[in-house]
Amino acid sequence: MKKETMEELSARTDEHEFYLSAPKGYRVGKTKYVVITGSVISGVGKGTFSSCIGTILSLFHGFRVSPIKFDGYLNCDAGTLNPFRHGEVFVLDDGTECDLDLGSYERMLNKNLSKDNYLTSGKIFKMIIDKERAGGYLGRDVQFIPHVTGEIKGFLRNLASKTDADIVLVEVGGTVGDLENSYFIEAMRELSYEEGRENVFFINVTYILEPRSLGEHKSKAAQLGVKSLMSLGVQPNMIICRSENPVNEKVREKISIFSNVPLSRVVNCYDVGNMYSIPLFLMESGVDKEIINSLNLKKWEKIDEINLGKWKQLAKKTENPVNEVTVGITGKYTNVHDSYISIIKALEHSGSYSGTKVNIRWIETTEIENGENDINEVMKGLDGIIIPGGFGKRGIEGKIMCAKYARENNIPYLGLCLGFQIALMEFARNVCGIKDADSTEMNPDTKSPVVDILPEQKKIEGLGGNMRLGGKDVEVKKGTLAHKLYGKDMVRKRFRHRFECNPEYIQTLERNGLVFSGKHPKYPIMQILEIPKHPFFLATQYHAEFTSKTLHPEPLFSGFLKACMKK
């Protein structure tokens, strides 16, 4: 390529086979790229590894790191994906519904992300079709190469410019060899060609099999996975060998020879005590120094000792808890724990600060409402109950029974989104005497719609549909438990719901002892409720778990666990 700026080349793509997309003022080399791919099998912790690398580079070394996740499915976002199939739908502050890995990024990097940090096949294809229909390709036939790959590279460069990133951390979803991510890997090959090898660092996360019948590690599958990546024109700079147990030197040597990767960059990341120990383990293995030296980032000696010290303390407390509680989570996706990953992690890191191990008991509420399980037996031994978010009617009556049990037996209760609505219906039925109190989501013909969909309120919010998404301000009432926990008059939290407390019932609920401790700053939209005389009975219409960060736990989770320990 001629020595022209990216901007100059972008302006001439109608005359050449190059299709380069870059924002105004973009300079090659200002931002470095770390690209993480997977091979052999999925689900080995590529997202966790990406989060840990981001933690090391941002929190410990002080680089401005912008992570991005690519998902190969044709959905434009994760909003319509079934939690049974894909796990939790995470919501960003700007309302983007995305993959759960972005939740890991936010928690571990201690920062909020946006729609620019998330890309799917559907999203990129829609951008391209819309641009083509508007005549944006100057009459050219639009092809995977150079146009699809070019727009992907442009998306990354826009992220780099918008966030003024030192490093863009790219996680390629799926594994090498998948049809749906093959063109994305091609885009990363082209990115390295255009930016220069000194500005792009490839990491392949592979899995080393250990068949029980053999009692030893086998590296052939990993070798073939690396070979597939190299056949696509990508030479990895580093290989991360995931395994349950430590692999021997011979396995690392085989991978090194087969992949053209120096032995010092073939790192065995085996299972350690807890995920907070992984960044420390990777630093001890020299992963950060290898990345920083390869990318010629001069600031690598700088270590934020304060953040590093906090992290070491967190890992130590998680490894050696002094307290233990058992929390019941009621839901309908209990067979797929990733459906509630943000709640699990919020409990985990909130508990770590007090040296508390949180044991989770999964409660399938359909078995309670149909009489298969006795509520008294199910609740025996629980120190607290969480009712998480969800949609649909299945298991609702069982959840209401759980909320009633928690209220009457002084068991700490934390309701999240649907858990807020469940608490409303239970209180209305059993305290206010509104026996048929219900939600129009579950019973459209109910005569007592304590929970209802209110289109005029959605119009006030300016969302134009019936889903309330993203970060919203919540006014917190002084003198309440919520205000004591937050220590603020106003907090910003994330929502994902259609139904909410019907304003017509607010006075009745309050007259009978329910306190609405959080609301919309201007309108009668209730967002936090609590029962003052209860040890801890608090519920939020928002998803408190989405804003809980590893170094800054959500106060409601911390308060909930303290109440569980007292019990």
Residues with a catalytic annotation lie at 417, 543, 545
CA angle 74, 80, 85 (to 5 degrees): 80
Single-letter amino acid, residue 493:
K
159 φ, ψ (degrees, to nearest 5): -60, -45
Distance, CA of 252 to CA of 268 (rounded, Å) = 8
Separation of first and last alpha carbons in the chain: 69
Kindly give the pairing relationship between strand 167-172 and strand 238-243. Answer: unpaired
Q: Which residues pair with 240 in a beta bridge?
A: 205, 267
Distance, CA of 17 to CA of 1 (rounded, Å) = 11
Alpha helices for 196-270 (secondary structure H): 220-231, 249-259
Distance, CA of 71 to CA of 78 (rounded, Å) = 10
Single-letter amino acid, residue 395:
G
Length of the chain: 567
CA angle 428, 332, 336 (to 5 degrees): 150
Contact between 171 and 70 under an 8 Å Cβ cutoff? The reply is yes
Q: Who's near 533: CB < 8 A, 6+ residues apart?
A: 513
CA angle 24, 27, 29 (to 5 degrees): 155
Both structure tokens of 373:
């399980």
**For the stretch 461-500, what's the b/e string if a residue is b when 16 or more beta carbons lie within 10 angstroms of its beta carbon?**
eeeeeeebbbbbebbbbeebbbbebbeeeebebbbbbbbb
Q: Who's near 43: CB < 8 A, 6+ residues apart?
A: none
Distance, CA of 73 to CA of 520 (rounded, Å) = 36
Both structure tokens of 398:
């069982």
